[in-house]
Chains A and B, each alone.
Chain A
Amino acid sequence: MLQQRSIQSSQSLRDKILSFDYVLIFSILVLGIISMFAMYSTDGGEFKYHTNSHILRFFVFFGMFFVISLIQIRFWHEASYLIYFTFFLLLLGVKYFGLTSSGSQRWLNLYFMNLQPSELMKIGLILFLAKYYHRISIENINSFRHLVLPITALIGPVILVATQPDLGTSILIASGGIVVAWLAGVRPKFFIYSGVAMIALLPIAISFLKPYQKSRILTFLNPERDPLGAGYQIIQSKIAIGSGGLFGKGFLNGSQSYLDYLPEKHTDFIFTLFSEEFGFFGSLFILLLYALIISRIIRIGNMTRSNFGKLYCYSFGTAFFIYVVVNMMMVLGLLPIVGSPLPIMSYGGSSMLAIMFGLGIVMSCKIYKDVPVN
């Protein structure tokens, strides 16, 4: 114990800074800069509101990322439950005091920004479950008694978010939680049973869906069903990406985007815009950049000694992967339009905050990789 403490205390600030994963930091920075150019293009080649505020947010939260990295992983472990409950309370707050926009109540007005707690909950749930599964012994993992708490912790926010309504984010929150449970060693058959139960409950769930959500799913199955209505987004996104070809139409020349054929180009469809302007090679570059970021996160998971760190890094890396893939599949017409931002690239403060927060904890795992958490 003493030795361990000495390891920890022997780390000077200089050591800590030297032990940053610079490949990861560099990748994030490159992606951030690319996202600024993309945002500049959505504003029609001018520094307007979206570009300016995106740049500001990126740098503010990038700075926050470093602060979080330098805080002991032990602290994050200790604070996990508290963080989860804080976010949960914020979600409850949304239910009662939230701002409503386009029929959905997702935001809290914090005066300097509109916070979307469901984005934060993506990280909160992973933290909570990582700590939970870190603490219980391996024998207990599959005992029914020990499944109750994680299931409750997962279902609570998922229901709150789904009823905002925000189907996309609630699914992404759930997927993060499921990944932790899977990594912790919950038996495969449990996932199969829940899957079967989900399918059985699907008709009931569908009856709770809003008409626009139903129409999105039907439209995904056949976009030409309603080319000017719900299918419009998928069709226009495919046209934009396809027309980009190998090398793209060039920076600021994405006609689909600047002529407003592309919907939600700042947020969910930012990849479409980029892909239209920079073509197949540009898209491949973005894809590789994300692969690099994710592999660095997983690598940090490998290096971390604590199971909390491993669970957290693996789960966050996988969740990050899911966010990226769901968004891309959506804009490529492989998934229904559910509304999920592309990490770092998309415009949106809460998403940026959540991702940088999550990455910060990953970096903290790297710096304090040899420090046991309990």
Chain B
Amino acid sequence: MLSPGSGNTVIKSKLISRRMFLITAAKAVVMVGLVGRLISLQINQATKYKSLSDKNRFREWKLAPERGAIKDFFNTEIASNEPLYQVHLVPENTKDLDNLFVRLKAILNITDNRVSFLKRKIRKQKPWEPVIVSENLSWSDFSRLNLFLHELQGVEPIVSVARTYPDNSSAHILGYVSQISAKDLQTKEYLKELSVPGMAVGKTGLERKLDEQIIGKVGYQRYEVNAFGKRIREIKIDSGQAGKSFKTTLDYEVQKYTAELLQDKAAAVCVMDVYNGDIVSLVSSPTFEPNQFVHGLDKKYWNSLIKNEKKPLANKALSGLYPPGSTIKTLVALSALENKIVRPLDTFRCKGKIELYGEKFHCWEKEGHGIVNLRKGIQRSCDVYFYEIARKLGVDRLSETAKRFGLGKKVLNDFIEERSGVVPNTKWKKKFIGQNWYLGETLHSGIGQGYFQSTPLQLCLMTAQIANGGFEINPRIIFDEKNDNLRKYLKHKNENPNEPLPTDLLVSNFNLKPLFKNQEHINLIKDAMFSSSNEPGGTSYRHRFEDPKFTFAGKTGSSQIKKFTEEQREAEVKQESLPYKDRDHALFVAFAPYKNPQYAISVLVEHGGSGGKAAAPIAKQVIKKVLERHELRRSANNLIGESV
């Protein structure tokens, strides 16, 4: 039975079994290890790996929302959106890329440079990632492309929206939009969730002020993507929300008209409703093309803006600081009356100059104005008269009145470019210049020179508050802001034109905030301004309107850039013969119509020379335009329930 060596076999068999036992034990250990690893990955760390898996799986593409429109008072869009026609190309969908580019070049006239740039780009990226062949196509090019689309495989016509402005007339007040910069992302909290590549944000003006509300809510598309980044299917789409639209108080027709008048000048014009503070027009010149900023700015164009000495990018109406010059004389006179420094018929003799504190102070009229009272002082803008009353008034009382009428502080809210200017007084000088006030400086302040700095918008507000009888108004440019101003008062005034109420009743009945102590003083100033514009010898007499419908009362001003030397004064050097940069800024403020004031205007022409010559004619034309549109504006006001 037993074969030879069967004992050997049994021993061997036992050895094998023994060694197998060791292996089995080792196997058990390894198995436990494997199960342990599974527990660790699939139970202990499951949450971590699930989120990693989702991170792999989903990718989101943000969609830029449509920006809200900005409309003028008559609902004309002055900042709107236009369809943007683009051509994208998905390389993986084309068979012959070279051939396709040849065809595209024939249809769209793209440059060879662009083609080689695109080819390089295609080589670098994944075949299903689109490249933008053409960023902003005209409609005719776009429709031609659509005609040939069937033979252009891989080409995708894309329609999106972009900001557009009908013209340049309101460029400064509207501002412009441009691509989000790294700095925008750092400084603007609301952009944190809005960073969509290629989205435009407001950089200046209303576009910036309203940016947070006008920009809208970002939408997104969530896609499931595969390991190569290719979109497999859309999981969710949220198209976002278009931004809120805003209506402004601006009149686009006036804006256009004014911008045309100012063309090529370095100038600014503000027009304001004297009762409700609505800014009807706000134009700065020279202007720029805001549309150029929307799709990446051309370097040449940017350089031409930067190098232009007339500073087209600055909003001169809001951020240009100019000495108010003689336009301040209205307030100097008012302050002197209010503080009982002078009576209307008190006179001074103007001999063309006056010597005080060892210094000579000149009147702009070398020969002098002779006997001057308050009315004549304003009518002729006699400097000597104002030296005299400023000396008696003192700078501190003057600054109080000036501040009350809106100088030295910002008129509107949230315009980063707006500046507040300076209304000097003794404390101010001590604080900011660190010196005591010199009496001579009071005299300079009395004619709006020296430390005085104001914006055209502030001067417009000042004039408006004189024109409405001396009541405070809060200017506005956005229509839907709650701002009652003098609406009720105006309504009463219009309904009862022939039975004026006493001032104190007016104030208490209509919740008015008077800026005067005695309204008679305001009327004296208004009368003096009337004479300045409408009586012979007045500084803007040449530019008056005979028609009472348009008659305005104004005050000229020239703010000196450079002090005249004695020689120049002797030689009677004309402004026109000075170098451009040395000429005075021309200013003019006015309100109209005189009998029943509706609008105030301020005009500034940088280096324009005298206010009467350079600024008043512009004011005259703008006033006419605004008054011609007054009925239209009034009926629109009635329609929207803001009955005045």
Contact = CB atoms under 8 A, between A and B. Distances in A.
- A and B found bound together: yes
Interface of A: 3, 137-138, 179, 182-185, 236, 238-246, 255-256, 259-261, 275, 279-280, 283-284, 287, 291, 294, 298, 301-302, 307, 310-311, 314, 318, 321, 325, 328-329, 332, 334, 372
Contact of B226 (A259, A275, A307, A325): A259
Nearest to A182: B19
B41 interface: yes
Contacts of A243: 46, 49-50, 52-53
Contacts of B35: 284, 287
B366 interface: no
A184 B49 contact: no
A372 B50 CA distance: 56
A121 B224 CA distance: 44
B2 to A, nearest CB: 11
Given A242-B48, A259-B232, A307-B13, A280 B19 contact: no
A307 B5 CA distance: 13
Contact of A325 (B13, B34, B49, B228): B34
A307 B50 contact: no
B20 A298 contact: yes
Nearest to A374: B3
Contacts of B232: 259
B56 A239 contact: yes
B160 to A, nearest CB: 29
A246 B43 contact: yes
A286 B110 CA distance: 61
B57 interface: yes
Contacts of A185: 12, 15-16, 19
Nearest to A276: B53
A73 B27 CA distance: 27
B30 interface: yes
Contact of A298 (B1, B24, B43): B24
Contacts of B37: 329, 332, 334
A137 B5 contact: yes
Interface in B1-50: 1, 3, 5, 8-9, 11-13, 15-17, 19-20, 23-24, 27, 30-31, 33-35, 37-39, 41-43, 45-46, 48-50
A191 to B, nearest CB: 11
B8 A138 contact: yes
Interface string B217-235: 0000000111110001000
Nearest to B15: A185
A283 B33 CA distance: 14
Nearest to B48: A242
B42 A280 contact: yes
Given A245-B43, A298-B24, A310-B13, A328 B34 contact: yes
A77 B310 CA distance: 105
A307 B11 CA distance: 10
A238 B16 contact: no
A137 B43 contact: no
B16 A332 contact: no
A104 B24 CA distance: 35
Nearest to B45: A242
B245 to A, nearest CB: 42
A183 B20 contact: yes
A275 B42 contact: yes
Contacts of A236: 56, 227
A325 B34 CA distance: 8
Interface residues of B, number: 42
Contacts of B31: 287, 291, 325
B53 A240 contact: yes
Given A246-B46, A280-B42, A287-B34, 9 more contacts: A138-B12, A183-B16, A185-B15, A259-B227, A302-B17, A307-B13, A310-B13, A310-B16, A325-B30
Contacts of B15: 138, 184-185
Contacts of B8: 137-138
A48 to B, nearest CB: 17
7 smallest CB-CB distances across A and B, nearest first, come from A242-B49, A243-B53, A245-B46, A280-B42, A260-B227, A259-B226, A243-B49
A178 B16 CA distance: 14
A242 B12 contact: no
A332 B38 contact: yes
A245 B19 contact: no
Name which of B39, B49, B228 has the most chain A CB atoms within 10 A of its CB.
B49
A238 B41 contact: yes
A242 B227 contact: no
A284 B20 contact: no
Nearest to A240: B53
25 contacts: A3-B1, A138-B11, A182-B19, A182-B23, A183-B16, A183-B19, A184-B16, A240-B49, A242-B42, A242-B46, A243-B50, A243-B53, A246-B42, A259-B225, A259-B226, A260-B226, A261-B226, A261-B227, A275-B42, A283-B42, A302-B17, A307-B13, A310-B17, A314-B23, A334-B33
Contacts of B56: 236, 239, 255-256, 259, 261
Given A259-B232, A287-B35, A307-B16, A279 B227 contact: no
A280 B43 contact: yes
Interface in B40-71: 41-43, 45-46, 48-50, 52-53, 56-57
Interface in B388-443: none
Nearest to A259: B226
Contacts of B5: 137
Given A280-B39, A310-B13, A329 B57 contact: no
Contacts of A287: 31, 34-35, 38
Contacts of A325: 30-31, 34
B23 to A, nearest CB: 5
Contact of B42 (A244, A302, A318): A244
Contacts of B23: 179, 182-183, 314, 318
Contacts of B57: 255-256, 259
Contacts of B38: 241, 275, 280, 283-284, 287, 332
A283 B20 CA distance: 27
